[in-house]
Homo-oligomer: A and B are copies of this chain.
Amino acid sequence: MTDKKSVLRPVDDEARGIARDLLAKARFGALGVMLDGAPFVTRIAVNAEGSLISLVSTLSQHTAALKADPRCSLLIGEPGPKGDALTHARLTLQADAELVGRDDALRGRWLKAHPKAKLYIDFGDFGFVRFQVRGAFLNGGFGYACALSAEDLGL
């Protein structure tokens, strides 16, 4: 087992650009939370314009898990239907989730990014989560990985 540092590149403007582009385009991601002491991964919708947020139902297991332990991780960047998924860039975020609940400014922003959410955004069990990013790993394909800070991502 080689030290993991040996496979990480130093972060540079190219990596920052790829990661910011993945964030700007992200409409959903895979959220990892702690559930009963083990990881649990579900799909959530996201928006990362300025801050990283999600609209979640309090009835969902991931929301209950985030209430109990805010530490989480979010994978964004979709490979598309063709080719080797591992050659497509993706970004792993490490974050702490803050349950915001209802918020008019976030509601407007969310509906602009996710217009179909109008069908359920006002249901009583829905509210916003804000992710405070602690750090991130960009995997840009084989042999291209680096660690980034929230500042590198503009978050």
A-side interface size class: 35 or more
Query: Which chain B residue shows the least CB distance to A125?
Result: B2
Confirm or deny: A19 has a beta carbon within 8 angstroms of a beta carbon on chain B.
Answer: no
Task: Give the contacting residue for A86; candidates B1, B45, B80; CB below 8 A.
Answer: B45
* Among A10-18, A24-32, A103-111, the stretch in contact with B: A24-32
Confirm or deny: A51 has a beta carbon within 8 angstroms of a beta carbon on chain B.
Answer: no
Report A45-85 residues with CB < 8 Å from chain B CB: 45, 58-59, 61, 64, 71-75, 77-81, 83-85
A27, B86: Cα distance in complex, Å: 10
A148, B40: Cα distance in complex, Å: 15
A75, B31: Cα distance in complex, Å: 9
A125 surroundings in chain B (CB, below 8 A): 2
A155 surroundings in chain B (CB, below 8 A): none
8 contacts between A and B (CB under 8 A): A1-B58, A4-B64, A30-B32, A31-B41, A32-B41, A34-B39, A37-B71, A41-B75
Which 9 A-B residue pairings sit nearest by Cβ, starting from the closest?
A: A30-B30, A32-B32, A32-B39, A28-B85, A32-B41, A38-B71, A41-B75, A84-B116, A41-B73
